Amino acid sequence: MKATAIIAIAVVVVVVGAGVGAAIYMNNNNKDSTDYSNVNSKLMVRGNANGDFTVDGDDLSIVDKVIAGDLKKEDYPLADANNDGDVNDADKEQIQNMIDHKEGMTIYVISLNSEGNETTVSVKYPLRNVVVYATNMEMPCVYCNGGKYIAGYFTKSYATAEKSFNAEAVDLEGQQRTINDAAWTNFTNLDASLVAKGTPIGALLVDYSGIAQITESRMSDLNESGIPMISYTSADATDELTTVLTLGYLFGGDCEKMGLDYAKIGWDVKDKIKEKTDALEKKKSYICGTMFIYICGKTSSFNTSATTAGGVAYATLNAGFDSKYTKNSTKMASTEALSNYTDADVFINNRSMDWGLDADAKKDLIIETWDHSNSGTSSRVYFNGWEDKLFYINNLLPGGVKLAYMAHAMYGDLFDREWADGILKQYIDLGTLPLEGQTLDSILAFIQFSDYKAAAGIA
């Protein structure tokens, strides 16, 4: 076991804001603790005083003004760069170290714990030897080209999308939705072996949807070993951008630049969607789904993404629907489940699909998605009558791409298919490793009824 202080288990939760970045909520357990609320930030680290994409001289200027009394500390909580409850010269030193990318320094990441209480988690910079759990956290890690720093993983499911994992990373033999005791033992054994080499685990990265797998006993293991845990609600498209940006910053080097460029493309997409849809007198209503025939509740990350894409959650318009589908995902009880809700404008179905496809594989995947057998009953039966309002979007793609295709699904007259495809092409050209060597033809990003009919040879 490492002789380090106990580090709080942390979860980062990002709430979609009104086009001004991500809103975070903090209530620190420091001396002079203040309950800061609705703090707008993109890069989720202390020292990013102005809440933008990076830490630079502008943040130092804000600290100077807080110290001088020209700005209120309460208005700039991230100016407390060293998380000691005050803003003073020590914070200037911390920010300068961050600007200088000083190796071995501690960086304080804005986070929530597993109970949803706000705190700050500390990690060593640059972040190395991470362990990842669940696809929604694995993809942001590799999108900032941080796969080379993965020391272990609980599961992998998408060979091409996850190809940039460190070749020496240890398979801990977990599952997508379960970390069993054997897998956790593999994790603690990996930690012990890396400690013996003097290269301990830098952090456990967990998507918030799987936070229940980190039980009280397992959190105790992490605390005792001094392993910080960072967890994000990365199924939400905005949160995914923040996740890539923040992980890239923590990894440093080329990962920081990739995370920055990646996030800026996505934020530009958000801004364009907001500008155009805010001018609409009436917005389109949507229902989101996942796993083919599961309906997402109002607070699901898929729903929050579609709201960012300019839509209105159908659950906010139909109280009966809202009371029936309260969970993140609820399996349709029958093939008639959607028959009472045909006044919704679109159904956006989120499905994770690997890429690297040739023409035949792409055609087969389109047909399999639309015709998918659910215990012997085709999805076509569940969506009978919805064909022209049903859209499948690839959940493995960058957050900015998902927003673009969602906006196209709801507002095809404002956001055409070529524009959405162009956003995907920007990410391919960016050089993010999961998309290396891919083209628009080798990735199945978006499926609508016309795509299905063409693939199936239906007139």
**Domain CATH number, residue 334:** 3.40.50
Closest C-alpha among 315, 277, 279 to residue 297: 315
Same domain, 284 and 138: no
Question: Are 96 and 240 in a shared domain?
Answer: yes
C-alpha 143/C-alpha 136 separation (Å) is: 11
229 shares a domain with 123 = yes
**Domain-embedded: residue 6:** no
pLDDT digits (tens, 9 = 90+) for 126-142: 999 999 999 999 999 99
Residues 226 and 333 in one domain: no
Whether residue 80 has pLDDT greater than 60: yes
For residue 33, the model assigns a pLDDT of 38
Query: Closest Cα partner for 109 from 247, 254, 259?
Result: 247
- Residue 28: the pLDDT is 38
Backbone angles phi, psi at 49, to 5 degrees: -60, -35
Instruction: Summarize the confidence of residues 166-178 as an average pLDDT.
Output: 95
| The predicted structure's pLDDT at residue 15 | 35
Same domain, 409 and 448: yes
pLDDT of 69 over the 50 cut: yes
> Is the domain of 295 the same as that of 249?
no
Task: Write out pLDDT tens, residues 225-263.
Answer: 999 999 888 889 999 999 999 999 999 999 999 999 999
**Does residue 207 or residue 314 have the better pLDDT?**
314
Residue 114: pLDDT band by 50, 70, 90 thresholds? confident
Residue 104 covered by a domain: yes
Residues 405 and 442 both lie in one domain: yes
Q: In sequence order, which ranges of 374-433 are alpha helices (DSSP H)? A: 379-382, 399-410, 417-430
How far is 63 from 157, CA to CA, in rounded Å? 45
Find the angle CA(306)-CA(312)-CA(314) to the nearest 5 degrees. Answer: 100
- Judged against a pLDDT cut of 60, whether residue 386 lies above it is answered with yes
| Distance (Å, whole) CA 424 – CA 358 | 18
Is 34 inside a domain boundary?
Answer: yes
Split into its structural domains, the chain has a count of 2
Q: Are residues 310 and 183 in the same domain?
A: no
User: Is residue 46 a part of any domain in this protein?
Assistant: yes
Same-domain check for residues 332 and 251: no
Whether 22 is in a domain gets the answer: yes
CATH number of the domain at 257, please: 3.40.50.1980
Query: Measured in Å, how far apart are the chain's first and last C-alpha atoms?
Result: 65
What is the model's pLDDT at position 23? Answer: 43
Residues 255, 291 contacting (CB under 8 angstroms): no
Same domain, 327 and 451: yes
Res 45 pLDDT > 50: yes
Mean pLDDT lowest among 108-122, 174-188, 265-279: 108-122
- pLDDT, residue 9, reads 33
The verdict on residue 88 lying in a domain is yes
- 8 lies in some domain: no
Lowest mean pLDDT among 49-63, 227-241, 271-285, 382-396: 227-241
Position 330 confidence tier, pLDDT thresholds 50, 70, 90: very high
Residue 164 scores a pLDDT above 70: yes
Q: Does 201 have pLDDT greater than 70?
A: yes
Quick: pLDDT tens for 353-385.
999 999 999 999 999 999 999 999 999 999 999
Three-state SS at 405 = helix
Quick check: is 268 in a domain?
A: no
Q: Domain ends where: 203, 229, 261?
A: 261
Predicted pLDDT at 209: 86
Q: What is the mean pLDDT of residues 449-456?
A: 98
Q: Which residues contact 7 (CB under 8 A, 6 or more apart)?
A: 121, 122, 222, 223, 226, 227, 228
pLDDT at 116: 60
Cis peptide before 126 (omega within 30 of 0): yes
pTM for this model (two decimals): 0.92
Is the pLDDT confidence value at 1 over 80? no
Give me the chain's average pLDDT, please. 91
Residue 73 has pLDDT above 50, yes or no: yes
Q: Does pLDDT of 88 surpass 80?
A: yes
Rounded mean pLDDT of 107-117?
78
Domain around 295: 280-456
CA 247 to chain centre: 11
Q: How confident is the model at residue 117 (pLDDT cuts 50, 70, 90)?
A: low
In a shared domain, residues 426 and 293: yes
Boundary residue ending a domain (205, 226, 261): 261
pLDDT recorded at residue 38: 41
Q: Is 88 helix (H, G, I), strand (E, B) or coil?
A: coil
- Asked whether residue 89 falls in the same domain as residue 48, the answer is yes
